[in-house]
Amino acid sequence: MNTNGQVYQQYKRTSVETSPPGKLLIMLYNGCIRNIENARTAINEKNPGLAHEQIVKAQDIIIELMATLNMDYDISRRLLSVYDYIYNQMVEANIKKDVELLDEIQVFLVDLRNTWQDAIGKVQTSSPDNAMRDNISTQKFSVMG
């Protein structure tokens, strides 16, 4: 990797390591959505290998989201069901290289991301000292590679 690539990777790593949990959650959703879009493009361009790679990256993000849920909260059990459904749809889309399934997945992901963005914004504007600001979701986060 050249120097510019190394600098970018370091920037990305630092950005993830220093971001508050709510921002990390949005970053994960954005990455997953981007991978789904890339997979759709690859399927349309008849590149099944690249489509597979992009779907697997999206699946890895969903697995991370599932693994970091705090199951002490009812919302986490509900999110686990949604994530499980999305993951299974990704498996099916990958097997069939089905753009329609990817479209359905993307709608779910965009809705989830937008809902979290709204919640984060409301928490941040309602009380900057609120302890939830740093724990906006019921998820704990680890660095994604």
75 within domain boundaries: yes
1 within domain boundaries: no
89 within domain boundaries: yes
Q: What is the largest CA-CA distance in the chain?
A: 51
Query: Do residues 51 and 97 lie in contact, with contact meaning Cβ atoms separated by under 8 Å?
Result: yes
Domains held by the chain: number: 1
What CATH number has the domain bearing residue 66? 1.20.120.340
14 within domain boundaries: no
Query: The domain containing residue 111 runs over which residues?
Result: 21-134
Tokens 């690539």 -> residue: 5
Pick the range with the lowest mean pLDDT from 18-22, 46-50, 125-129, 136-140: 136-140
Query: Do residues 99 and 1 lie in contact, with contact meaning Cβ atoms separated by under 8 Å?
Result: no
7 within domain boundaries: no
Query: Do residues 26 and 113 lie in contact, with contact meaning Cβ atoms separated by under 8 Å?
Result: yes
Say whether pLDDT at 79 is over 60: yes
9 within domain boundaries: no
The token pair that represents 31 in the structure block: 């990455």
Q: What percent of the chain has pLDDT over 90?
A: 68
Tens of pLDDT, residues 101-118 = 999 999 999 999 999 999
5 within domain boundaries: no
Say whether pLDDT at 128 is over 80: no
What totals of helices (H) and strands (E) does the chain contain, helices first?
5, 0
119 within domain boundaries: yes
When pLDDT is cut at 50, 70 and 90, the band that residue 138 belongs to is very low
Please report which helix (H) or strand (E) contains residue 83, including its range.
helix 74-96
pTM of the model: 0.78
